Amino acid sequence: MKRANTIKLNIFVVTFFFALIMVAFSYAAFAASVPSASGQINAPGGAVLRKSASAKSAKKCVLADNTVITIHKEVFKSKTSTSKKNKWYYVTANGNKGYIRTDLVDNISYGYVSGKTKAKVVFRKGAGTKMKKKGSFRKGAAVTVVLKAKPVSSTKGSSGTWYKVLSGGKYYYVCSSKVKITGAMTDEQFMQYLSSEGFPDSYKSKLIALHSIHPNWGFVGYKTNIPWATALSKQTSGGRSLVSGSYPSKYRDGTKQYEPGWYKANTKVVAYYMDPRNFLNENSMFMFEDLSYKPSYQTATVVNTILAPTKLPAYGFTANVFVNAGSSSNVSPVFLASRARQETGNGGDAVNGTKILGTAVYNPFNIGAFGGTNPLYNGLIYAYGKGWTTPAKATAGGAQELAKNYINQGQFTTYYQRFNVRNGASKAGTHQYMTNIMAPYSEALSTYDSYTKYGILNQPLVFEIPIYEGMPASTKLP
């Protein structure tokens, strides 16, 4: 299916970026182990990632403002204080592991697993036996565990690891030796989870249905703080949202062709495809999937099912090419294959070794293919400038471009690449990979089909779902 680029990647200047963890929400959200969390650097000048939990520790790198990080545990540096300056996070960011002070991180999102107390246990304001007592759980009480925590050594109690737990809408800490992780949430815990994530009632029934089928799936709510009307207005401006001429004319807003065979989508169509609630089902959910590389199930065999119906393997774009590219860029090879299938699956000059100035070049993702009377040629010129002279180089290079210019900027799902609403209202409707209003849906179906074929739908997948302010009761196609 054709799509139209709106971003000039070859001239785009990154003024801020999300370091490569791309939704690195590796929470293992509902699996039977303590989950990780995600957060975002809040430091205009950047924040130092250190070798250990100390400002005197060796510097590993500097993480740019707004970098998305995966948080593995909290580390307390005080026996009695829970001040953010006395706590550190052990994190993964941009391929590096290290420690960062918690006052430099915001937008925390937690995963959740169930646990049960082995005995009566005191819960405290922080991790460690010197922290203020806030209450106690009886033996056999169900608890919701969100993160590991490490207390000051002299206050560790019966275990050096504590759990951060959610109870009554507040977070407390208990010694891990007193809690057994039991796995999937109870119905009551799942409802509490949905509420804590800020999901409106209009989302909940569909998420509950999905949870009953896939208890290992994690659903993360992201409050965009953008009014629905504002986002819709920006998406219906100019040629930002296009629909193929193969669809009914009632889907169009006017007769102008913004590209051959592509028309401006009318407001109802844009609203329908922008509304996350219309895609909270088993197959469409994959437009909200974390696009980071997970080698345990994003294998060459799975990728091959996406490529099989296309002409790409015949041109040298094999499954291993995508897996290698995904591994080197920390991007899902399933996503990369789905994107190439969307862009160039029918073959053509972008993938058949067309020569530019005597050199064969390739561009499976159509990066730089925009503007003028011949966007495809512009994309090939871009590929020539990048040295994409083999399918492997083009796929690896394109994956790095997608990571740098989109995923590292918070656009770590296909939905966010189509609707840039994770970077504030001022960015909404800008820097979007495709103008095809239906592209996220098409790519989601490819991923779902492949995961279904190989029985990996019950992996601990993570989906981040945006929430707008002032959403309508529902949206429908014309």
Give the pLDDT confidence of 43-74 residue by residue, as tens digits.
Answer: 999 999 999 999 999 999 999 988 888 899 99
Determine the pLDDT at residue 142. Answer: 79
The angle, 0 to 180 degrees and rounded to 10, between the axes of the packed helices 391-405 and 333-344 is 110
Which 8-state DSSP code applies to residue 403?
Answer: H
Bridge pairing between strands 59-63 and 47-50: antiparallel
Burial of 238 (0-12, 13-18, 19+ CB in 10 A): exposed
> Cα torsion at 418, 422, 427, 432 (round to 10°)?
-20
Q: Which residue has the higher pLDDT, 39 or 30?
A: 39
In this model, does residue 111 exceed pLDDT 90? no
Closest to 469 in 3D by CA, of 200, 287, 160, 154 = 200
Determine the pLDDT at residue 380. Answer: 95
8 A C-beta contact, residue 376 and residue 369:
yes
Query: What are the residue ranges of CATH 2.30.30.40 in the chain?
Result: 31-183
Closest to 35 in 3D by CA, of 123, 115, 104, 106 = 115
Give the pLDDT confidence of 151-202 residue by residue, as tens digits.
Answer: 999 999 888 999 999 887 789 999 999 999 887 666 777 888 888 888 999 9
In this model, does residue 127 exceed pLDDT 80? yes
Question: How far is Cα 452 from Cα 283, in angstroms, rounded to an integer?
Answer: 9
Determine the pLDDT at residue 122. Answer: 95
Where are the extended beta strands (E) located within 292-424?
355-356, 359-360
Determine the pLDDT at residue 473. Answer: 97
In this model, does residue 15 exceed pLDDT 60? no
Question: How far is Cα 266 from Cα 260, in angstroms, rounded to an integer?
Answer: 18
Tokens of 121: 């246990």
Report the percent of the chain where pLDDT is more than 90.
62
Report the percent of the chain where pLDDT is more than 70.
92
215 pLDDT band (50/70/90 cuts)?
A: confident
SS3 state at 79: coil
Mean pLDDT taken over the chain = 87
416 pLDDT band (50/70/90 cuts)?
A: very high
Q: Give residue for tokens 């290698």.
A: 324
8 A C-beta contact, residue 7 and residue 431:
yes
In this model, does residue 35 exceed pLDDT 50? yes
Give the pLDDT confidence of 430-469 residue by residue, as tens digits.
Answer: 999 889 999 999 999 999 998 898 887 877 687 899 999 9
Q: What pTM value is reported for the model?
A: 0.66
Determine the pLDDT at residue 110. Answer: 81
Question: How far is Cα 462 from Cα 218, in angstroms, rounded to an integer?
Answer: 5
303 pLDDT band (50/70/90 cuts)?
A: very high
CB < 8 Å & 24+ apart, contacts of 208-213: 210/280, 210/281, 210/282, 210/285, 211/185, 213/282
Q: Within a 13 Å sphere around the CA of 284, how many CA atoms are in the beta-carbon half?
A: 16
In this model, does residue 4 exceed pLDDT 70? no
Segment 393-409 shows an average pLDDT of 91
Determine the pLDDT at residue 372. Answer: 66
Determine the pLDDT at residue 184. Answer: 66
Classify domain 31-183 by CATH architecture: Roll (2.30)
In this model, does residue 400 exceed pLDDT 80? yes
In this model, does residue 32 exceed pLDDT 60? no
Closest to 361 in 3D by CA, of 343, 345, 380, 340 = 380
Contacts of 358 (CB under 8 A, 6+ apart): none
In this model, does residue 255 exceed pLDDT 50? yes
Which 8-state DSSP code applies to residue 103?
Answer: G
In this model, does residue 13 exceed pLDDT 60? no
